[in-house]
Chains A and B, each alone.
Chain A
Amino acid sequence: MQSNAALEYDYSVAKLYMLTTVIFGIVGMTIGVLIAAQLAFPELNYLLGEYGTFSRLRPLHTNVVIYGFTVSGIMASFYYSAPRVLKVSLGELPAINALAKLGFAAYLVAATFLVISLGMGITASKEYAQMEWPLDIAIVVYWVIWGIVMFGLIGARREKALYISMWYYIATFLGVAMLYLFNNMEVPTMFFSGGLGAWYHSVSMYAGTNDALVQWWWGHNAVAFVFTVPIIAIIYYFLPKESGQAVYSYKLSLLSFWGLMFIYLWAGGHHLLWSTVPDWMQTMGSIFSVVLILPSWGSAINMLLTMKGEWNQLTENPLIKFMVLASTFYMLSTLEGPIQAVKSVNAIAHFTDWIPGHVHDGVLGWVAFMIFAALMHMSTRIFKREIYSKSLLEAQFWIQTTGVVLYFTSMWIAGITQGMMWRAVDEYGNLMYSFIDTVSVLHPYYTIRAIGGVLFLVGVFMFAWNLFMTATAGRKLDQEPQFRSPMA
């Protein structure tokens, strides 16, 4: 059996995904800032003609940050950490290595066509599943390739027991596969109409209420298996590695893993409260959303307690700052979600800006912060260089944290204000406000949110610069750092 030190890992695929993380991050979040600003200043809708309206750009923003930035970040972390916890290098397995690179190529092709088709308005219209059937097939191929690579690595592993991160990566693979297949069942129209119309067009296999049920079973669990499960895989690897601390409790990780797997899938119904789906399904969605606090907080608390006795690192190491704040935002977000899933609260919150507010404290505070920390940590090992600038990292942390706080506080106020105004009645029981009154009142909050977005985007540019300089100009290291990433 080979020792860890003797194994030289092949990071070529991880590097490719690092690059796309940064590119898609910049593109997706720039579009995000633009559409946030459009709500405050509608003249910005006319920058790109037909292609520049809020409605056309919004799915571009969501898809590029989810499937571009986040999936790239997850894959970079996977290709870095999975070989290390399995103690096998991609370089030892030429076929698997080639397949991983082929997967990356397929990913780039699918991403390019996704951006083009969404820009043109070619869409199946289901949120976060807008791709038409040819792209769906490309994505299934990509996912199967990833599965083969993962199980190939597992098959060749030297460390027999799968580390916690691997549990979560396996769950990501299975969960997305199942959900994606069922939600994207669609019938291409060309085959049944004697070759009429656009070749890429399709109709959903399900109609109306059924379609909504399947879609939000997907929509909610895409959040589970893209924004939660793989990010937990990332924190379980990178926080102990960066801090040099052992994971606080094995039993807690076990409980949270199986608890999360079982409970998460039930909660999709909370997107459909007060809709036309049966009452009992809505109630189930509500109840399981509240129960979901347990496994979510289980993971977060396990991570925070991992820092027990070492809290001084929080002041000394910006990467620990990012990860600890990420777990804290995860706790905030997983408490906020269940609150919104309570039926009486949902009656006010649904359809308002509180929902995007909730999404963004999760994705900016938790997902993006974890990806930044993971990429910085691995850059010192991959490029064998010191992180270029600690002060830049510190500044990024505070600028982005301010941005996130501005974002979600303004959206809380906006959402609750609008929800209350929609239902406000005067002394005779008549509605007090016309719809446009409830839009005009939001202008200041939309402005604050756009400013929050700008701050976050500035941080992304600082991150990109820092990462680029680390890779090219950071001080060379003679040996791999054991724990804390060295930085200048």
Chain B
Amino acid sequence: MFHWLEKNPFLFSVGVFIVIAFAGLVEILPNFAEAARPIKGLKPYTVLELAGKEVYKKDNCIACHSQLIRPFKAETDRYGQYSLSGEYAYDRPFLWGSKRTGPDLHRVGNYRTSDWHANHMWNPKSVVPDSIMPAYKHQFTNIADTETAYAEAVTVKKVFNTPYGPEIAPGKEAYEKYYKSVMLPEAMKIAKEMKNKDVLAKVEKGEIPEIVALIAYLNKLK
């Protein structure tokens, strides 16, 4: 029946390719533009929050935490309003996760404080006695890679027209200016809320530990 095709590797490969490419075209493309639109009033992440998102990726929080509240009463009771597509418009990459060994975090900023996060990341059992989550003490000493986060903001502004102001511009000089005038004050506010002396001392010295950036990001999730 198809013996002729099996003797012609080129046509065979073309046939396979057409058959497998078909689904992607029909299923993925039609909704692409619409799904890229943000909801009204959505602000892009600040650079400190982006640096926090990098910590979230680096320590791979998505291994155990989702950021997707499904439209069931049990979920909206537990986590709040179900997730909307336009809320993710500035999420590159998306961080929905695929497993909830721990609870969903899409609106964690609504019901946890900087102080709570600081205690929890230092020792999860201090706030949730039966927790099986490991402590992430290294986030209190590692310094956040804010320069890469800034580079990311510049890139998405240029390439994807993410609405950042003129303060986000290429080059070392623009970064250093932004760091001093915007990022450090933002970090200082969180460091004060955390009530951790070592962290506060670091920020006062002009360094931003990973935990501060991470908490900035978690607080933004609302």
B111: interface (CB < 8 Å): no
**A54–B64 touching, CB < 8 Å:** yes
Least CB distance, A151 to chain B, in whole angstroms: 7
Which of B155, B160, B172 is close to A189, meaning CB atoms less than 8 Å apart?
A: B155
**B134–A208 touching, CB < 8 Å:** no
Least CB distance, A207 to chain B, in whole angstroms: 5
**Given A123-B58, A198-B148, A422-B74, CB of A261 within 8 Å of CB of B134:** no
Which of A49, A55, A160, A258 is close to B138, meaning CB atoms less than 8 Å apart?
A: A49
Which B residues touch A175, using CB under 8 A? 20
Interface residues of A in 231-290 (CB under 8 A from B): 251, 254, 258, 261-262, 264-266, 268-269, 271, 274-278, 281, 284-285, 288
**Given A59-B60, A207-B90, A276-B83, CB of A261 within 8 Å of CB of B19:** yes
**B93–A274 touching, CB < 8 Å:** no
A192 to B130: give the CA distance in the assembly, Å: 46
B84: interface (CB < 8 Å): yes
A355: interface (CB < 8 Å): yes
Of B95-103, B185-193, B194-202, B212-220, the one with at least 4 CB within 8 A of chain A: B95-103
Q: Which residue of B lies closest to A212 (CB)?
A: B94
**A193–B138 touching, CB < 8 Å:** no
**Given A207-B88, A208-B35, A440-B130, CB of A196 within 8 Å of CB of B138:** no
The proximity string for A residues 12-55 relative to B, scoring 1 for CB distances below 8 Å and 0 otherwise, is: 00000000000000000000000000110010011001100111
Interface residues of B in 53-83 (CB under 8 A from A): 57-64, 66, 68, 70-72, 74-75, 77-78, 83
Q: Which residue of A lies closest to B147 (CB)?
A: A197
Interface residues of A in 171-191 (CB under 8 A from B): 171, 174-175, 178, 182, 187, 189-191
Which A residues touch B6, using CB under 8 A? 161-162, 167
Which B residues touch A204, using CB under 8 A? 92-94
**B99–A351 touching, CB < 8 Å:** yes
**A194–B27 touching, CB < 8 Å:** no
Which of B70, B85, B158 is close to A274, meaning CB atoms less than 8 Å apart?
A: B70
Question: By CB atoms of chain A within 10 A, which of B1, B23, B136 has the most?
Answer: B23
- Per the CB 8 Å criterion, the residue count for chain A at the interface is 93
**A54–B63 touching, CB < 8 Å:** yes
**A355–B98 touching, CB < 8 Å:** yes
**B68–A281 touching, CB < 8 Å:** no
How many chain B residues sit at the interface, stated as a range, is 35 or more
Which of A46, A121, A122, A203 is close to B134, meaning CB atoms less than 8 Å apart?
A: A46
**A174–B17 touching, CB < 8 Å:** yes
A201: interface (CB < 8 Å): yes
Which A residues touch B97, using CB under 8 A? 351
**A254–B2 touching, CB < 8 Å:** yes
**A53–B7 touching, CB < 8 Å:** no
A424 to B78: give the CA distance in the assembly, Å: 11
**A123–B94 touching, CB < 8 Å:** no
A481 to B71: give the CA distance in the assembly, Å: 60
**B88–A209 touching, CB < 8 Å:** yes
Least CB distance, B23 to chain A, in whole angstroms: 4
Least CB distance, A28 to chain B, in whole angstroms: 16
A285 to B24: give the CA distance in the assembly, Å: 12
Which B residues touch A422, using CB under 8 A? 74-75, 78
Which A residues touch B181, using CB under 8 A? none
**B60–A58 touching, CB < 8 Å:** yes
Which B residues touch A212, using CB under 8 A? 88, 94, 96
A352 to B94: give the CA distance in the assembly, Å: 20
B154: interface (CB < 8 Å): yes
Least CB distance, B129 to chain A, in whole angstroms: 8
**B151–A196 touching, CB < 8 Å:** yes
Least CB distance, B73 to chain A, in whole angstroms: 8
Which A residues touch B171, using CB under 8 A? 193-194, 196
**Given A192-B155, A265-B24, A276-B83, CB of A352 within 8 Å of CB of B74:** no
Least CB distance, A122 to chain B, in whole angstroms: 8
A275 to B104: give the CA distance in the assembly, Å: 13
Least CB distance, A317 to chain B, in whole angstroms: 30
Which B residues touch A167, using CB under 8 A? 6, 12, 16
Least CB distance, A221 to chain B, in whole angstroms: 8
A145 to B68: give the CA distance in the assembly, Å: 39
**A217–B28 touching, CB < 8 Å:** yes
**Given A161-B3, A194-B170, CB of A182 within 8 Å of CB of B24:** yes
Interface residues of A in 382-440 (CB under 8 A from B): 422-425, 430-431, 435-436, 439-440
**Given A174-B17, A204-B92, CB of A431 within 8 Å of CB of B74:** yes
For the A-B complex with A196-B175, A355-B98 known, give 9 more contacts whose Cβ atoms are closer than 8 Å: A125-B95, A160-B7, A193-B155, A194-B154, A208-B85, A269-B27, A271-B98, A277-B31, A351-B98
- Which A residues lie at the B interface, using CB under 8 A? 38-39, 42, 45-46, 49-50, 53-56, 58-59, 121-127, 151, 154, 160-162, 167, 170-171, 174-175, 178, 182, 187, 189-194, 196-198, 201, 203-204, 206-215, 217, 251, 254, 258, 261-262, 264-266, 268-269, 271, 274-278, 281, 284-285, 288, 347, 350-353, 355-356, 422-425, 430-431, 435-436, 439-440
Q: Which 6 A-B pairs have the closest CB atoms?
A: A208-B88, A197-B148, A45-B134, A197-B151, A194-B170, A265-B23
Can you give 24 A-B contacts (C-beta < 8 A)? A42-B133, A55-B134, A123-B58, A125-B60, A170-B9, A170-B13, A171-B16, A175-B20, A187-B159, A189-B155, A192-B155, A192-B170, A193-B154, A193-B155, A204-B94, A207-B89, A210-B36, A212-B88, A212-B94, A251-B1, A261-B16, A261-B20, A288-B23, A355-B99
- Which B residues lie at the A interface, using CB under 8 A? 1-3, 6-7, 9, 12-13, 16-17, 19-24, 27-28, 31-32, 35-36, 57-64, 66, 68, 70-72, 74-75, 77-78, 83-85, 87-103, 128, 130-136, 138, 142, 145, 147-152, 154-156, 158-160, 170-172, 175
